[in-house]
Amino acid sequence: MTTLETSIGKLKIKEGITKSQVKELIHFSNSDSLIQKFTTDQVRFKDVVTYNKRLKNKIRTYYTLSDDGGKLLGITWFGPKNMPDWFDKKPDYEGYIITFAIRLYDGARGIGIGHIFLSETLNLYLNSPQYKDHGGGKLWCLLEKSNKAAVRVYKKSGFRSYNKNEGDKILMLRH
């Protein structure tokens, strides 16, 4: 467990997600307007059945951010996924085979801890047996260009943007 000192108190970062946090995850995915605007979590975490199916079918390592009482304040996940084909055509995209996601909820958003939470959990993941078993790999993430807070958080966590002058999506890469 890692502890973060923040303006809203000491928060805990842990690998994995408890049963009550799964309920909170489902609740936020179905009710938070920013999550709905920028993510497909409403589909991904529609209900417990969908969540369990995903858990079984996708290799993902989850990290949660919570307060003392275990209330879910944020989540990141990492795991193997190839880029969409249309990106793979570029030779310098080779080796980008790990993707990730970050969400902050309620009072934890907008207080400047996004890049700390992402950097801490990324570091945990890069040192995890899951990552090593998978044989390593570089990270990529595709997001809406208009998602300025996420782009900023990723840049502060060591990612660089690739196709910033093309389309409404932006590809962020990390060596």
Measured CA to CA, the distance from residue 156 to residue 115 in angstroms comes to: 6
Query: Using CB atoms, what's the residue nearest to ligand COA?
Result: 114
User: C-alpha distances in angstroms, 139 versus 24, 48, 79, 164?
Assistant: 27, 28, 9, 17
Q: Which is nearer to ligand COA, 132 or 152 (CB)?
A: 152
Shortest Å distance, C-beta 127 to ligand COA: 22
Shortest Å distance, C-beta 103 to ligand COA: 4
Shortest Å distance, C-beta 74 to ligand COA: 7
Q: Which is nearer to ligand COA, 59 or 149 (CB)?
A: 149
Shortest Å distance, C-beta 116 to ligand COA: 8
- Bridging pattern class, strands 160-161 and 61-66: unpaired
Q: Which is nearer to ligand COA, 11 or 35 (CB)?
A: 35
Shortest Å distance, C-beta 153 to ligand COA: 5
Q: Residue 171: name the closest of 114, 87, 104 by CA.
A: 87
Q: Which is nearer to ligand COA, 9 or 132 (CB)?
A: 9
**What is the chain's alpha carbon radius of gyration, rounded to the nearest angstrom?**
16
Residues that bind ligand COA (CB under 6 A): 34-35, 38-39, 101-104, 109-110, 112-114, 141, 143, 147-150, 152-153, 156
CA dihedral sign, ordered 26, 30, 34, 35 = positive
Q: Residue 157: name the closest of 108, 110, 123, 107 by CA.
A: 123
